[in-house]
Amino acid sequence: MLNRRGQRLIQARRFVALGMILRSLSGPAAMLIFAGGLHLAGLIMNLKLDEARDLTQFWQRACSTLAALAAGWAVYRLVDVLEMLLGKWTAKTRTQLDDQLVPIIRKALRFFIVIMVFLFIAQNIFQWDIGALLAGLGLGGLAFALAAQDALKNLFGSVTIFADRPFQLGERVKIGDHDGIVEAVGFRSTRLRLLTGHLVTIPNSLVASSAVENIGRRPYIRRVLDVTITYDTPPDKVRRAVEIIMEMLQVRKDHFPPDMPGRTYFNEFNAASLNIQVYYWFTPPDWWQYLEFTHDFNMELLRRFNEEGIEFAFPTQTLYLKQDSGFVTEVQLKPNQARRR
């Protein structure tokens, strides 16, 4: 009856929490009624078969155990209601780590309930000395703690992750040598989907003790471009090359932060070229949009330099050969020719 009534409330979308409570209590309530019926039957029946065989105490303990199990089962199933309420609360938050935390809390609560029900039955029904039992397990507990120290490190690491929130589900992060998208965070480990498509599992103790680079939260994508032109380029054309790049950056200023416009400078005399360095910070920080922007920028730069007759430099090597006659010959070798020689 409780199950049917709860199902109706859930399907009607009215008092969903109450419906889940009624449905959760239906099974334990039946078990509790069964335990009560056995207890009443024991009061009616003569359980003392003879002087040597008396089932009264066994019967009472069995009924009490069933009642305790029914109560524990009820609390165990009510965790589903708490999970539903927490799920509604986490759905209103910005972070997705809260959504990952809900099933972890559910598992922890259910494990705790099972342990507490077992200890209650052992101490209050079967009259076991739990204190002495735990003391006797002290040496074994120490060995278990030593064996489980890595698991405890991972547990505390997960607590640190949920408290600090260095990343969210779906964000791209770099942890050590691993660069990928966060797919799940559990009690023991964090799972990343690498850019290669592989899934890597990293212990939470390592995540908590490592530097986490959150690429998904970067406000822009920074590019430093070295444009190299030949040494025989006259100063006027060097100045014109800088002007062309500044014009291109000015046209594309909507893609840069207002306080970080694109910049370019003739900054270096390289070994084989004159160097013009270009800086810009692309927004939004979407990798594919950034590549499209870069492609368009590079194509226009190549076209305009060709129109102005500005030559890009490539690595060259000049050799001076000294002969006995005092005649000096200057030879320029391209990189592929130098390798053949």
In degrees, rounded to 5, the angle at the alpha carbon of residue 328 between the alpha carbons of residues 324 and 334 is 125
Give the separation between CA 16 and CA 24, rounded to whole angstroms.
12
Per-residue model confidence (pLDDT) at position 280: 96
Give the separation between CA 290 and CA 288, rounded to whole angstroms.
5
Contacts of 132 by beta carbon, 8 Å cutoff, 6+ apart: none
CATH class of 221-308: alpha beta
**Burial grade of 83 (CB within 10 A; 0-12, 13-18, 19 or more):** middle
Coil, strand or helix at 278: strand
Give the separation between CA 179 and CA 181, rounded to whole angstroms.
7
Under 8 Å between Cβ of 304 and 230? no
The maximal CA–CA distance of the chain, rounded, in angstroms, is 134
Query: Within the chain, which residues score under 70 in pLDDT?
Result: 1-16, 47, 49-52, 54, 90-91, 93-100, 130-148, 317-318, 322-341
Per-residue model confidence (pLDDT) at position 169: 85
**pLDDT tens per residue across span 114-145:** 988 888 888 888 777 766 666 655 555 555 55
CATH 2.40.160.20 fits 154-217, yes or no: no
Concatenating the DSSP letter of every residue in 93-130 gives SS-SHHHHHHHHHHHHHHHHHHHHHHHHIIIIIS---H
Residue whose tokens read 């430099």: 313
Give the separation between CA 74 and CA 67, rounded to whole angstroms.
11
Per-residue model confidence (pLDDT) at position 340: 41
How many CA atoms are closer than 13 Å to the CA of 154, on its beta-carbon side? Answer: 14
Q: Quote the pTM value.
A: 0.58
Whether the bond between 257 and the residue before it is cis, its omega within 30 degrees of 0, is no
Considering only CA atoms, which of 69, 68, 104, 74 is closest in space to residue 86?
104
